[in-house]
Amino acid sequence: MRRMGRRRYASPAATLRTGLWVALVGVTLLVGPATAEEYVAFGDSITEGTGDDEPKIGYPGRLQNLLQAAGRDDTVRNEGVGGEKTPEGLTRLNGVLDGGGDVLLLMEGSNDISRNISRETTLFNLQKMAERAETKGFEVVHATLVPRTPIARVDAKNELNQRLVEALRHDAGLAGRRVVDNFEVFVGRGDWYENLYQHVATDFVGHPNAAGYDVMAQAFFDVLTDVDSVPPVTGLVSPFNGQNNVKPTSEINVELWDFGRGIDVTSRVLLIDGVPVEAELTGGQLRSQLRFVPGQPLRGVIRVGIEARDLASPANSVSREIATFVIAGTEFLEGDIDRDGRVDGIDLVLLSRAFGFSIGNPRYDGTADLDSNGTVDGTDLAILASRFGQEL
């Protein structure tokens, strides 16, 4: 089995193993070509390829094309099953592993979010899948989920998805596994929803289109061929994105990971409401922590951002808001349906979903009934429009 580009991140022992492996690869190159790798792409409908203009191709078929165009005889077997949740995946995995292969590309959990399966359960199931595969001699490469679209029935703001992604990065980093960060690759593009998704009114999760699957395949290809194209990313964050009723004296903690060349530790900056703050910086190139203790009580809606770059050449950098949370006792603007301190397009989407429905209908949303008359109607739309663009 070939392990080209394999990198581990967790411990000195893992680092030593990586060094030994590099030496072995060097010996292999002297004695002859390596054998072809068989990748097993395991997941749900997004692995299967739903939304692609070439059915059943998705990212696995595109990834195989990229690998073979690079002169490698590797194959990618598509083992995606539409609608699958991680409990079902855990049951199905043994049969898939029995079919053989070298590297498991593991991406699942989007349907867990849709079905209100807890994040802890999803992470537990993914960990068990990874352990089973490793017991059978597979290398496991985790992949984060793509963002959910603004019309998703559950988690349209990607708060649950983001927390799952961040926890998966944390777990994978501690386990020394590689990560294909689809979430970061998509969010890092300003046009991700407009250009990378199929736009079908009945798609209430969010499936990529052909262009989106191209982007995913490239993200997998980069990791598998040791190309660092992703900046430092967040692991565990507290308070977490979307958290309400946060104590005014709460400290802010942000964990950063880099699954490529490592974090440039001189570049780490924490921002609160867009302003750099003096934060305690600890950790190193693979995993870093930023901690901020406010000198006075926090108020209103707090926006946390980071700036960082990695040690790749050229460097990959990130400068982005990563979390918004609400301090206990905050009063909101009329029209701020999602309670993020802004009246914006997300609020308009939420109101439109409930438009025309009254109390007693399952689609009625009391938070969108801005005048509290029992029906989401034109008056509520006018109130939202009068506040549109305002923020606390």
Domains of the chain are 33-224 (3.40.50.1110), 233-326 (2.60.40.1220), 345-387 (no CATH)
pLDDT surpasses 80 at 356 = yes
Taking the C-alpha atoms of residue 85 and residue 261, their distance in angstroms, rounded to an integer, is 33
Q: pLDDT band for 391, please (50, 70, 90 cuts).
A: confident
Concatenated DSSP letters of 129-166 = HHHHHHHTT-EEEEEPPPPPPTT-SS-TT-HHHHHHHH
- pLDDT at position 34 is 59
Banded model confidence at residue 103, pLDDT cuts 50, 70, 90: very high
pLDDT given at position 150: 85
Residue 18: is its pLDDT beyond 60?
no
Those residues with Cβ within 8 angstroms of residue 199's Cβ, 6 or more apart along the chain or in another chain: none
Query: Going by C-beta distance under 8 Å and a sequence separation of 6 or more, which residues neighbour residue 92?
Result: 81, 84
Any idea which of 11-25, 253-267, 290-304, 358-372 has the lowest mean pLDDT? 11-25
What's the chain's average pLDDT? 90
Distance CA 178, CA 38 (A): 17
**pLDDT reading at 15 higher than 60:** no
pLDDT digits 0-9 by tens, 188-227: 998 999 999 999 888 888 999 999 999 999 999 999 999 9
CB 186 within 8 A of CB 230: no
> pLDDT > 90: what percent of the chain?
79
- Range 3-12 burial, b when 16+ CB lie within 10 A, else e: beebbbbeee
- Least confident interval from 133-142, 168-177, 254-263, 339-348: 339-348
pLDDT in tens, 105-143: 999 999 999 999 999 999 999 999 999 999 999 999 999
CA distance 5 to 18: 10
pTM (two decimals): 0.83
Q: What confidence score (pLDDT) does residue 237 get?
A: 98
How many C-beta atoms lie closer than 10 Å to residue 312's C-beta?
A: 18
d(CA 303, CA 274): 7
Which pair of tokens denotes residue 114? 């849709």
User: Residue written as tokens 């703001």?
Assistant: 157
